A and B are shown apart, each in its own frame.
Chain A
Amino acid sequence: MTDTHVQSDPSTEPRQTVRSVSQQISAIVLTEGPPRGWWAGFLVSFLLVMLLLVSVGWLFAKGVGIWGINQPVGWGFAIVNFVWWIGIGHAGTLISAILLLFRQEWRTSINRFAEAMTLFAVACAGLFPLLHMGRPQFFFWFIPYPSTTGMWPQFRSPLIWDFFAVGTYATVSLMFWYVGLIPDLATLRDRSRTGRGRIIYGFLAMGWRGSARHWKRYQSAYLLLAGLATPLVISVHTIVSYDFAISILPGWHATVFPPYFVAGAIYSGFAMVLTLSIPLRAVYRLQNFVTDRHLDNMAKVMLASGLVVAYGYLMEHFLAWYGGHQLEEFMLLNRMFGPYAWSYWALIGCNILIPQLLWFKSVRARPLPLFFIAIVINIGMWLERYVIVVTSLHRDFLPSSWGMYEPTFWDWSTYLGTIGLFAALLFLFIRLLPMISIFEMRELVHEHEHSGGASAEAGTS
């Protein structure tokens, strides 16, 4: 079944050999200078990182008052961006862990940079709660350590669960990514022509020699890590949704939140993978690794998770009507027709209407429209968090405590700065490490050679 599928719709080009795979992927890191686009992109993202540093420095000097947050909207951009970034990370874990366990071999050529994307997205996400703290120097109060206060963190608070969820997620993602890199680091060590390259990659490869015993241990370690990472795909964003759902605020206090947040995370994550992989494969001419079939599959995952997200929106409305709760009803009417109606309708357009184009094979087969839709979904998922955070908070129970939220320059600069940080880290990753798993591609080519040979024999007989 898989064999016929592979032949009709290959996840690698048939002409690839084990040698050409190693050569093509490692050459990007080892021999070729970065293309002009790399320098331009890195420069822009580096400048944005500088903007981030200025914003954070000013924030530390002046406090969170430089942001637009106020009473009643105490959670502004910081939390919107935190949830957005964390969500983006989920595709990496889903691709690398769950698809590995389901033996979806097409994942092989996209898992490495999807995992890198996860790590960098989590790094960006992790910044925001720290910056939002007001006194970030006391972030370690989140950690249950034997302090002289005689107190533990408030374990009944979802914010503490969040700290552990994100911390675990970052740790497991890093281990998974690094363990997956080890055989490739050894390949780079062996192919590197400079002494410095040999020493650095050799150091990072931790003495990998590729013996049968190494591979056996490696396989079980990788599988175990995949098993550890799998529940995290579900748990992390579930717990992020508890930050909202555990409260009693209309618009947050909903049992549909965990599944719909998880679906939203996968949705935005795949959108980000597409946003990155489409230009990457064009610039580095990797169409023979990241084939049209990959784009097609990712578009399908996006469509499916997008429909779950749409179901979540629908359920919010249904439950507000079916529950007959006055405040819930008001909250949704306020979302649709209140002062932030623009964000709600933009969200519906970006997350539900435009992605329906993915039903058409002709759209999924073309990188350019796909890239456009992926960008639209990224924006839509950011708007979703904006709508959830701002419209729920700004008009709560008492009209006397209503207010408006207006992001300031520093809100925007911090957000753009983290986009720059994310991009800068990705550019460095592309330059310094193999962005496609060399050894897994070699394995795939090897398997295809064998299955291809068998069918050729069957054809001649």
Chain B
Amino acid sequence: MPQIFHPSMNTISRVSIFGAVFFVMAAVGVGAAIVRSPYATEVGVVRVQPVPFSHQHHVGDVGIDCRYCHRSVETEAFAGLPSTDVCMDCHSVLWADSPMLEPVRESYRTGEPLAWNRVHDLPDYAYFNHAIHVRQGVACETCHGRVDEMPLMYREETLHMQWCLECHRNPEVFLRPSEDVFAFDWEPDESTPTGEELAALHGIESKTDCSTCHR
């Protein structure tokens, strides 16, 4: 009987059988890397805005408190975006002729709000409430990063569920005293109560029921 396959088939089949294992592992690895990459998570990716608003300047240099613009952060689920009036509190006087601020003045004249592009957008099936987190001592900085050092706004964290769960499983690691929630570059000192003490004070427990966030 003639030979059906060339002898090189031996090598080819061995390589392809063992190679298949590595190929599958590599495919899984690439998939895992993609979902964690900035391409998918937008971590560190600046979003284009109608006005190049600099948190670094307003928070870091000028020292405006977060709550001056994000007014409902302590009372409502949504932290709130400032209306154009809030911008004009200062910019009717400061840099009143700057061409960069023309969209703001335009918005003020017409009453048409500025259409900011949302940077931190959770999926609709996840319920998140700013007020409860801020009141229990989770700092702005913990989730949003050093906003006072961001010339243009970007995501500091992935917003993946496992990132939420890091804190929800061990909340005491991430707590601050209430008065330090809005501070940046904050470090605890000797007089600062520990996370366990703060958790006990506010009655904070690890909350990992599905219905805590998926309501």
Chain A CB within 8 A of B21 CB? no
Q: How far is the CB of A1 from chain B (nearest CB, A)?
A: 42
Bound CA span A145–B5, Å: 40
Q: Is the CB of B36 within 8 A of A148?
A: yes
Q: How far is the CB of B169 from chain A (nearest CB, A)?
A: 8
Residue of A nearest to B31 (CB): A145
Chain B CB within 8 A of A101 CB? no
Majority SS of interface residues in chain A? loop
Bound CA span A146–B164, Å: 16
Q: Which residues of chain A are within 8 angstroms of B36 by Cβ–Cβ distance? A: 148
Q: Is the CB of A148 within 8 A of B13?
A: no
Q: Which residues of chain B are within 8 angstroms of A147 by Cβ–Cβ distance? A: 162
Residue of A nearest to B163 (CB): A150
With contacts A206-B13, A207-B10 taken as known, whether A150 is within 8 angstroms of B5 at the C-beta atoms is no
Q: How far is the CB of B193 from chain A (nearest CB, A)?
A: 28
Q: Is the CB of A148 within 8 A of B162?
A: yes
Q: Is the CB of B5 within 8 A of A149?
A: no
Q: Is the CB of B165 within 8 A of A151?
A: yes
Contact of A151 among B4, B13, B158, B161 (CB under 8 A): B161
Q: Is the CB of A146 within 8 A of B13?
A: no
Residue of B nearest to A202 (CB): B4
Bound CA span A199–B9, Å: 12
Q: Is the CB of B165 within 8 A of A148?
A: no
Q: Is the CB of A190 within 8 A of B161?
A: no
Contact of A149 among B28, B32, B160 (CB under 8 A): B160
Q: How many chain B residues touch A (Cβ–Cβ < 8 Å)?
A: 18
Q: Which residues of chain B are within 8 angstroms of A431 by Cβ–Cβ distance? A: none
Q: Is the CB of A189 within 8 A of B4?
A: yes
Q: Is the CB of B162 within 8 A of A149?
A: yes
Residue of B nearest to A149 (CB): B161
Q: Is the CB of A150 within 8 A of B4?
A: no
Interface digits, A171-206 against B, CB 8 Å rule (1 contact, 0 not)?
Answer: 000000000000000000110000000110011001
Could you tell me which residues of chain B, from 150 to 173, have a CB within 8 Å of some CB in chain A?
158, 160-166
Q: How far is the CB of A192 from chain B (nearest CB, A)?
A: 10
Q: Which residues of chain A are within 8 angstroms of B164 by Cβ–Cβ distance? A: 150
Chain A CB within 8 A of B1 CB? yes
Q: Which residues of chain A are within 8 angstroms of B163 by Cβ–Cβ distance? A: 150
Q: How many chain A residues touch B (Cβ–Cβ < 8 Å)?
A: 15
Q: Is the CB of B161 within 8 A of A150?
A: yes
Chain A CB within 8 A of B20 CB? no
Q: How far is the CB of B29 from chain A (nearest CB, A)?
A: 10
Q: Which residues of chain A are within 8 angstroms of B166 by Cβ–Cβ distance? A: 150
Q: Is the CB of B10 within 8 A of A148?
A: no
Q: Is the CB of B158 within 8 A of A148?
A: yes
Q: How far is the CB of A176 from chain B (nearest CB, A)?
A: 18
Q: Which residues of chain A are within 8 angstroms of B9 by Cβ–Cβ distance? A: 207
Q: How far is the CB of A151 from chain B (nearest CB, A)?
A: 7
Interface digits, B22-46 against A, CB 8 Å rule (1 contact, 0 not)?
Answer: 0000001000100110000000000
With contacts A189-B4, A198-B4, A202-B4 taken as known, whether A150 is within 8 angstroms of B13 at the C-beta atoms is no
Q: Which residues of chain B are within 8 angstroms of A145 by Cβ–Cβ distance? A: 28
Q: Is the CB of A148 within 8 A of B35?
A: yes
Could you tell me which residues of chain A, from 136 to 154, have a CB within 8 Å of some CB in chain B?
145-151
Q: Which residues of chain B are within 8 angstroms of A148 by Cβ–Cβ distance? A: 35-36, 158, 160-162
Q: How far is the CB of A155 from chain B (nearest CB, A)?
A: 15
Q: Which residues of chain A are within 8 angstroms of B161 by Cβ–Cβ distance? A: 148-151
With contacts A206-B13, A207-B10 taken as known, whether A150 is within 8 angstroms of B1 at the C-beta atoms is no
Contact of A150 among B10, B28, B32, B162 (CB under 8 A): B162
Interface digits, A76-98 against B, CB 8 Å rule (1 contact, 0 not)?
Answer: 00000000000000000000000
With contacts A148-B160, A150-B161 taken as known, whether A202 is within 8 angstroms of B5 at the C-beta atoms is yes
Bound CA span A189–B164, Å: 59
Bound CA span A190–B1, Å: 8
Of residues A150, A151, A206, which shows the largest number of chain B Cβ atoms within 10 Å of its Cβ?
A150
Bound CA span A40–B161, Å: 54
Residue of B nearest to A147 (CB): B162
Q: Which residues of chain B are within 8 angstroms of A198 by Cβ–Cβ distance? A: 4
Q: How far is the CB of A214 from chain B (nearest CB, A)?
A: 14
Residue of B nearest to A190 (CB): B1
Q: How far is the CB of B168 from chain A (nearest CB, A)?
A: 9
Q: How far is the CB of A350 from chain B (nearest CB, A)?
A: 42
Residue of B nearest to A198 (CB): B4
Interface digits, B48-64 against A, CB 8 Å rule (1 contact, 0 not)?
Answer: 00000000000000000
Q: How far is the CB of A196 from chain B (nearest CB, A)?
A: 11
Bound CA span A193–B194, Å: 82
Q: Is the CB of A146 within 8 A of B160?
A: no
Bound CA span A146–B31, Å: 11
Q: Which residues of chain A are within 8 angstroms of B13 by Cβ–Cβ distance? A: 206-207
Q: Which residues of chain B are within 8 angstroms of A189 by Cβ–Cβ distance? A: 4
Interface digits, A397-432 against B, CB 8 Å rule (1 contact, 0 not)?
Answer: 000000000000000000000000000000000000
Bound CA span A345–B172, Å: 61
Q: Which residues of chain A are within 8 angstroms of B158 by Cβ–Cβ distance? A: 148
Q: How far is the CB of A286 from chain B (nearest CB, A)?
A: 28
Contact of B160 among A150, A203, A207 (CB under 8 A): A150
Q: How far is the CB of B172 from chain A (nearest CB, A)?
A: 18
Bound CA span A329–B181, Å: 61
Residue of A nearest to B10 (CB): A207
* A-B residue pairs, 4 tightest by C-beta: A150-B162, A148-B160, A149-B161, A150-B165
Binding site for A on B (CB under 8 A): 1, 4-5, 9-10, 13, 28, 32, 35-36, 158, 160-166
20 more A-B contacts (CB under 8 A) besides A146-B32, A148-B35, A150-B165? A147-B162, A148-B161, A148-B162, A149-B160, A149-B165, A150-B160, A150-B162, A150-B164, A151-B161, A151-B162, A151-B165, A190-B1, A198-B4, A199-B5, A203-B5, A206-B13, A207-B5, A207-B9, A207-B10, A207-B13
Would you give 8 A-B contacts (Cβ < 8 Å), ordered by A?
A145-B28, A150-B164, A151-B165, A189-B4, A190-B1, A202-B5, A207-B9, A207-B10
